[in-house]
Structure 1
């Protein structure tokens, strides 16, 4: 796959206000994004994710490292590089509220050097794609939050850039509108063959839309892996074991010592163990502990796990399944 964004050994530090302490927001982060990919860029608050996004968009200059967009260094040739990327940043005013929906599309197209006549058909297509046709003459400040967000994404699409970066595209939207935005994003990737980077705390968006996720924590990249692979790996690890009799105190201590993620439930008809295994082979270690007291096993069920749970576990415990940087190397 041809690379469209290459982030190499990125580092950014800040001096804490009124103090001499240096804070490292981004610490030697490297990854690649291929043309036509849709990638989630994730991280808890303060992880360095927003700083990384701002450096990719040219809003911040890295202390060290190189970012290229379509082969162009965005520090040395900022304007030329940024012609290949458009962004919808959460918390920023992405639209002119005293203009109508159509006027916003025409205005921002003009900013990109496109004539009103040249973009007429494209605007019509976007109005229909984003279900905004019946609101085209409505002032933006009268639109719902969901419609404003759809319009902001449509404006970014109108630029016809190779890359679109969406920061929290479903923040503050109701369930129905959030689902609609996710559906539209999937349609865009299929039809337009553009590259989309999504930064979001809405894990349903990442799970349903993104092919791959890059997770940053404490300034470092801790995961760079396909979403479907993460779902498969973590689902295989999570089990519920229903027992025929309670565990002894010695057995509980042995399980707690052997397994980092373990929950013993006794307020059900039958006692149960919710457990995550480091690998499938560790089930035998659990059986050995149960066998000590001849504890009967009535059933073993593999648990369904969602991406939000996976994200929390990766941030808390790390990710040790193979080489998580291998995805980037495949793009080279």
Structure 2
């Protein structure tokens, strides 16, 4: 987003407190949203995209924003960035109410959004960094060292004098991130930041994001459908569904809160046994005809006979004893058993009922592209 006059930044927090030190008076959070609601349209055809959402993002943290398409996260980001006016609620950025002075409130905010042309493709990589530092109110010569470090850490030094239009999609994505960081923004919104990157480039970008948050106090709100990226980078995850926040916690807490799942493997598990288990337990999955299983260090190959079946059952605490009793009563000899920790994606599906990336627009057809175009315009970029 376009940033007003800003002082030169050297990576420290805006209130002069070094990372790791406690201020005398606690500074306000980077982002505070209260009672935010937004409805599109009128009457029966209207869509309540965001429904009384409250959210706080502390300085120096990385928060993941997840939700199926149509969950409301796009509209929430638009309202937060000032692209869409909410019907009710408030947004404060570093303590400043955005309605009191848009330019001042967004002075230290920037965004990299999926679908937008986030850089000028006719300019070189370094020229893009200098340009976006300039429109942030920073003398580009004064932050040349910062730009050199960004180019080095994002592995762009060799392409610094290459026009962006000649780069691969993955390289353009890294240039977009570098441009967002070029002027020293303290709060950034990143939409699908690893899209188009190969495995190694994705790791490089994740590593740099973690470093920027840890060492320079950068605050990041990251939206992605790549659960590996969210688990690897984010301190905290906010999940949305139907315009509301349905979960807000650390990755570890969300996964542990999903409950224990036990995976039992046995050739004695047939359809009748599975049906019996479903009557008494929450059966999460069944995998049939595995072919071979490990038992006492030896492999038992199925040959022509039907292979063993693995059944996953939500059973923690005393329920585990009940499960063993039920298996014994059904004549099942357990050949393998293990506790399966749910993945973040499993938690996501359980809470939202939708696979990542599925769903529709939360704006009654206006589409995700509007966010990219509006944000690009607000930064002075041509989409």
TM-score by length of 1: 0.86
Correspondence for 2:353: 316
Q: Determine whether 1:257 maps to 2:279.
A: yes
Secondary structure of the structure 1 residue equivalent to 2:40:
strand
Q: Determine whether 1:240 maps to 2:263.
A: yes
Q: Take 1:248 and 1:308, find their aligned partners in 2: how far apart are those partners?
A: 28
* Counterpart pick for 1:24 among 40, 48, 56: 48
Range moving further from structure 2, 89-98 or 284-293? 284-293
The equivalences for 1:125-144 within 5 A come to 125-144=149-168
Range moving further from structure 2, 187-196 or 292-301? 292-301
Q: Take 1:261 and 1:13, find their aligned partners in 2: how far apart are those partners?
A: 39
Q: Take 1:295 and 1:20, find their aligned partners in 2: how far apart are those partners?
A: 55
Secondary structure of the structure 2 residue equivalent to 1:314:
helix
Q: Take 2:282 and 2:48, find their aligned partners in 1: how far apart are those partners?
A: 29
Which deviations, in whole Å up to 9, do the C-alpha atoms of 1:40-75 show, x marking residues without a partner? 001011111111111111111111111111111123
Correspondence for 2:362: none
Q: Determine whether 1:290 maps to 2:327.
A: yes
Aligned length: 312
Which deviations, in whole Å up to 9, do the C-alpha atoms of 1:6-56 show, x marking residues without a partner? 11111111117xx85110111111111111111100101111111111111
* Counterpart pick for 1:272 among 290, 310, 326: 310
Which deviations, in whole Å up to 9, do the C-alpha atoms of 1:236-283 show, x marking residues without a partner? 61221123623573x533422333443344423333321223x43322
The equivalences for 1:69-108 within 5 A come to 69-108=93-132
Correspondence for 1:320: none
Q: Determine whether 1:66 maps to 2:85.
A: no
Secondary structure of the structure 2 residue equivalent to 1:91:
coil
Q: Take 1:129 and 1:66, find their aligned partners in 2: how far apart are those partners?
A: 37
Correspondence for 1:12: 38
Correspondence for 2:183: 159
Range moving further from structure 2, 111-120 or 301-310? 301-310
Correspondence for 1:113: 137
RMSD (CA atoms): 2.2
TM-superposed deviation, 1:97? 0.8
Q: Take 1:244 and 1:151, find their aligned partners in 2: how far apart are those partners?
A: 54
* Counterpart pick for 2:71 among 29, 47, 71: 47
Q: Take 1:246 and 1:133, find their aligned partners in 2: how far apart are those partners?
A: 58
TM-superposed deviation, 1:3? 2.0
Tell me if structure 1 keeps the 8 A contact 2:170–2:195.
Answer: no
Tell me if structure 2 keeps the 8 A contact 1:211–1:228.
Answer: no
Cα distance change of structure 1 residues 73 and 309 upon mapping to structure 2, 3 Å threshold: same
TM-superposed deviation, 1:132? 1.4
Which deviations, in whole Å up to 9, do the C-alpha atoms of 1:64-113 show, x marking residues without a partner? 11111111112332211111211111111211111111111111111112
Secondary structure of the structure 2 residue equivalent to 1:241:
strand
Tell me if structure 1 keeps the 8 A contact 2:277–2:283.
Answer: no
Higher helix share: 1
Q: Take 2:204 and 2:288, find their aligned partners in 1: how far apart are those partners?
A: 42
* Counterpart pick for 1:179 among 203, 213, 232: 203
Give the gaps of 5 or more residues in structure 2. 1-25, 291-306, 355-383
Cα distance change of structure 1 residues 139 and 265 upon mapping to structure 2, 3 Å threshold: closer
Q: Take 1:201 and 1:248, find their aligned partners in 2: how far apart are those partners?
A: 35
Range moving further from structure 2, 90-99 or 113-122? 113-122
Q: Take 1:26 and 1:145, find their aligned partners in 2: how far apart are those partners?
A: 32
TM-superposed deviation, 1:304? 4.6
